[in-house]
């Protein structure tokens, strides 16, 4: 069939969108689907049609029923000096966003950090989790299933690790029991991959063993104790992805010159807004806007954008130390990768190249860069609030 015949069949309901790939190349299938959507929606999509990605590769690994791409402006902030365990240099950070003033704000924070000698950053934990839910007949049987996991851990570890050359099962903890349901939280290390697919496949193999040896019946491969793509206290406490801390001591004169305020004012804003205000609201994110920086850098580097909800978790602290400012961010849950998934898309790979972290053995370095970027943006916003400059900045930059 030619393109016109396929479009006619789509319009007449004689063919589904996913069936187009059976008859034409991935590139042509993308164009056909887009033309069908244009006719159906009564619009034109010339910008979605203009892209440089290899759609054949993308449709094999990253997207179904493609019709083109979207485009977001990408800016850079920097230089940002980082004194990490893995990243010990200045970087320029690519940030994809349509929010005016965001890159300028992060850039101001980066300038403050660099003038102060750099931000310290440390990856304190590096794990990925999967927690299925298992059904039993009684609470007593649930306890037996829990003990089965404990007694057979070494064998289960070997089974899980037989499915991957990079993943390691570190522990099964906690193993929660709620009535007749059991929620074992499998905790893995996954190397430079973010690892969700890896740990899912490995965990499924363990559940096959469970089915052979016990009366437990797994209801769902994810029972939401993982916790993936949702804010959760367990991830705040136990960590998920990269758990990272970053901090800096900024001299009084730099606080005054760069942020136009004082350490005392920033400390008060942080306590009143990020700590007390967040507690009053029942928030799990005791910070000003981690998600802004996490989402922008994730979009620029091919991370799973939905994990920005996890990256939004964390606590900002600020202390007035004899008029110098101590400032820190704690990010317990930042799932990132430098290989696999969306990082293989051409534009995402370029974003990682800008940071110098594309490829293997770079994921922890990338995590430190994310945390340093979050501190830069957090510092700038809290400083702007302390100085009373927030509305003016958005008026001048966000509205052109």
Per-residue pLDDT of 13-51, as tens digits, reads 999 999 999 999 999 999 999 999 999 999 999 999 999
Q: Which long-range contacts (CB under 8 A, 24 or more apart) does 138-146 make?
A: 138/180, 139/177, 139/179, 139/180, 141/180, 141/215, 141/216, 142/177, 142/179, 142/180, 142/181, 142/182, 143/177, 144/214, 145/182, 145/210, 145/214, 145/216, 146/175, 146/177, 146/182, 146/184
Mean pLDDT of 133-142: 97
Any catalytic annotation for residue 247?
A: no
Mean pLDDT of 275-297: 97
Which is catalytic among the residues 28, 38, 54, 99?
99
Residue 365, judged by CB atoms within 10 A of its CB (0-12, 13-18, 19+), counts as buried
Per-residue pLDDT of 180-219, as tens digits, reads 999 999 999 998 888 889 999 999 999 999 999 999 999 9
Cα(222)–Cα(129) distance, integer angstroms? 10
Q: Which pLDDT band holds residue 398 (cuts at 50, 70, 90)?
A: low
Any catalytic annotation for residue 394?
A: yes
Cα(92)–Cα(95) distance, integer angstroms? 10
Which is catalytic among the residues 38, 173, 304, 350?
304
Which is catalytic among the residues 122, 166, 349, 394?
394
Any catalytic annotation for residue 99?
A: yes
């Amino acid at each position: 069939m030619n393109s016109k015949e396929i479009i006619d069949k789509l319009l007449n309901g004689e063919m589904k969108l996913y069936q187009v790939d059976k008859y034409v190349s991935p590139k042509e299938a993308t164009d056909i689907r887009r033309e069908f959507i244009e006719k159906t929606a009564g619009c034109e999509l010339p910008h979605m049609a203009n892209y440089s990605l290899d759609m054949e590769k993308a449709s094999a690994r990253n997207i179904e029923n493609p019709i083109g791409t979207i485009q977001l402006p990408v800016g850079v902030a920097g230089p940002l000096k980082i004194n990490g365990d893995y990243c010990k240099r200045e970087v320029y950070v690519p940030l994809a966003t349509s929010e005016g003033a965001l890159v300028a704000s992060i850039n101001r924070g980066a300038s403050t950090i660099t003038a102060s000698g750099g931000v310290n950053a440390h990856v304190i934990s590096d794990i990925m989790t999967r927690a299925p839910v298992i059904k039993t007949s009684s609470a007593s049987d649930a306890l037996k299933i829990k003990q089965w996991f404990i007694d057979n851990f070494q064998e289960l570890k070997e089974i899980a690790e037989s499915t991957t050359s990079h993943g390691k099962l570190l522990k099964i903890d906690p193993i929660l029991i709620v009535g007749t349901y059991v929620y074992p939280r499998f905790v893995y290390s996954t190397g430079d991959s973010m690892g969700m697919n890896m740990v899912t496949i490995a965990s499924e193999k363990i559940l096959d063993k469970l089915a052979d040896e016990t009366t437990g019946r797994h209801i769902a491969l994810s029972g939401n104790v993982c916790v993936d793509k949702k804010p959760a206290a367990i991830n705040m406490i136990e960590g998920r992805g990269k758990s990272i801390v970053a901090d800096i001591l900024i001299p009084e004169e730099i606080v005054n010159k760069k942020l136009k305020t004082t350490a005392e004012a920033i400390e008060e804003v942080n306590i009143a807004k990020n700590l007390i205000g967040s507690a009053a609201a029942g928030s799990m994110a005791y910070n000003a806007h981690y998600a802004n920086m996490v989402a922008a850098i994730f979009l620029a580097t091919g991370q799973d954008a939905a994990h920005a909800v996890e990256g939004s978790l964390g606590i900002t602290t600020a202390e007035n130390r004899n008029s110098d400012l101590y400032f820190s961010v704690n990010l317990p849950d930042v799932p990132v990768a430098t290989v696999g998934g969306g990082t293989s898309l051409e534009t995402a790979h370029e974003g990682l190249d800008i940071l110098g972290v594309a490829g293997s053995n770079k994921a922890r370095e990338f995590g430190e860069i994310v945390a340093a970027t979050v501190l830069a943006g957090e510092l700038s916003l809290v400083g702007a609030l302390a100085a009373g400059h927030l509305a003016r900045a958005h008026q001048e930059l966000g509205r052109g």
